Amino acid sequence: MKNVALYLRVSSQTQTVDNQRIRLVDFAEKNNYSFDVYEEVESTRKTRPVKQALLAKLRQNTYDAVIVYKLDRWARSSTELILDTKELLDKGIGFISVSDNLDFSTAAGKLHFQILSAFAEFERELIRERTIEGLRRAKAQGKTAGRPVGSKDSKKRKKSGYILREAKKRQDVDSGKGIHKSVEAYLN
């Protein structure tokens, strides 16, 4: 019996994972998989703690596969999807998208994955070319690249206290872990 992880994600608390849960649980039960459910609610572009926890378990080979409702529920960009699924497939962990009818562990799924990879690479190259061309045009028009000069750039920044503030931050982090040292220990 395969042990799989079901990953469900919505973008805000006003949305629900109920439809995803019904489809994924039904799929797992029909295929006689044992499963755990991972629900990500109100994720942002940069933070998806449930997905990160699941990836850590997948890296430890806790599951044979991860099953998602749709590819866009797992990743927010084609690049993220390619990198994540390649890592999983290289470790022998399956990746299944129920609504997209894709199983990247099969021959047909591997072909789909290669096609997705090719399009992601093509998309990255187009973006790179447009960026270079835009910078070239801006330079020809006499514009300078980079952040515009602001009021903070005209005067010297205050550095006093920075090292002590950083030492106290590290002390607070360790204190939360039960490690107690004097602030002087963090000053070197």
Which residue has better confidence, 88 or 178?
88
Instruction: State yes or no: is 11 an active-site residue.
Output: yes
Are both 100 and 13 inside the same structural domain? yes
Q: Which domain holds residue 95?
A: 3-105
Catalytic residue among 11, 43, 99, 117: 11
Which residue has better confidence, 66 or 186?
66
121 belongs to a structural domain: no
The backbone torsions φ and ψ at residue 96, rounded to the nearest 5 degrees and listed phi first, read: -125, 130
Are both 164 and 95 inside the same structural domain? no
pLDDT at res. 117:
77
129 belongs to a structural domain: no
138 belongs to a structural domain: no
Strand order through the sheet with 65-68:
34-40, 3-9, 65-68, 94-97, 102-103
Q: What is the pLDDT of residues 142-154, one digit of tens each?
A: 988 877 777 667 7
Arithmetic mean of pLDDT, 132-144? 90
Q: What is the pLDDT of residues 6-58, one digit of tens each?
A: 999 887 777 888 899 999 999 999 999 999 999 987 666 667 888 889 999 99
Contact 4, 33 (CB under 8 A): yes
Q: What is the pLDDT of residues 62-93, one digit of tens each?
A: 999 999 998 888 887 777 888 888 899 899 99
Would you tell me how many other CB atoms lie within 10 Å of the CB of residue 29?
A: 11
125 belongs to a structural domain: no
Q: What's the Cα-to-Cα distance from 138 to each of 102, 120, 127, 128, 149, rounded to whole Å? A: 43, 27, 16, 15, 17
Arithmetic mean of pLDDT, 160-168? 80
| End-to-end C-alpha distance for the chain, whole angstroms | 54
18 belongs to a structural domain: yes
164 belongs to a structural domain: yes
pLDDT at res. 188:
66
pLDDT at 112 over 90: no
| pTM, two decimal places | 0.63
8 belongs to a structural domain: yes
Arithmetic mean of pLDDT, 122-126? 84
Are both 98 and 159 inside the same structural domain? no
Are both 9 and 89 inside the same structural domain? yes
Give CA–CA dist 38/7, Å, rounded. Answer: 5
Specify burial of residue 89 (Cβ count, 10 A radius: 0-12, 13-18, 19+).
middle
Sequence-ordered strand ranges (E) for 43-160: 65-68, 94-97, 102-103
Are both 169 and 101 inside the same structural domain? no
